[in-house]
Amino acid sequence: MNAISDIQKRREEIAINYFRMVDAGDPAVIDIFTEDAHMFYPKFGIARGKAQIGAFAQGLGRGIASLKHEIKSFTVLTSGNYVIVEGAEKGTTTSGVDFPDGVSSFGLFCNVFEFEGELIKRIHIYVDPDFANTHAEGVAWGKSVQDSIASL
């Protein structure tokens, strides 16, 4: 292997390890970020720096009792300083709702990691944060579109 593919392989390993650490609720996950890292998450916005990213993780943890990413089925793409991971997750909210339900939630996500060396400089997380399907208007819209498609 050449130096470029070695660093890309290492970055892929770090990205996969990120999901293992998140699933385990390991607070050391923050150590794989640069000091000035930033993170995007839908309905939350942008966190800047390790302290804000850590606070976001704690806040997310208040609503999710358990989370498991299906790592073996991930699609991982690497280009330059970027690692993109597409996959599925499942879990249980702190109110006892299991997700996804396979009806209006599917547990699919895509994370885009930007690296600086072997540390994450930027992560954009694309996922539906309505794990328990409490966004009634959005769920109703999805159901209405599914119903109209079913009649085709």
pLDDT in tens, the chain (152 residues): 455 689 999 999 999 999 999 999 999 999 999 999 999 999 899 999 999 999 999 888 889 999 999 999 999 999 999 999 999 999 999 999 999 998 888 999 999 999 999 999 999 999 998 888 887 776 677 777 778 777 77
What count of other Cβ atoms lies within 10 Å of the Cβ of residue 6? 10
pLDDT at 139: 64
pLDDT at 129: 87
Contact 28, 21 (CB under 8 A): yes
pLDDT at 131: 85
SS3 59: helix
pLDDT at 94: 93
pLDDT at 3: 59
Residue with tokens 């993780």: 57
pLDDT at 4: 64
pLDDT at 47: 94
pLDDT at 20: 98
pLDDT at 8: 95
Phi/psi for 29 (5° steps) reads: -55, -30
pLDDT at 149: 73
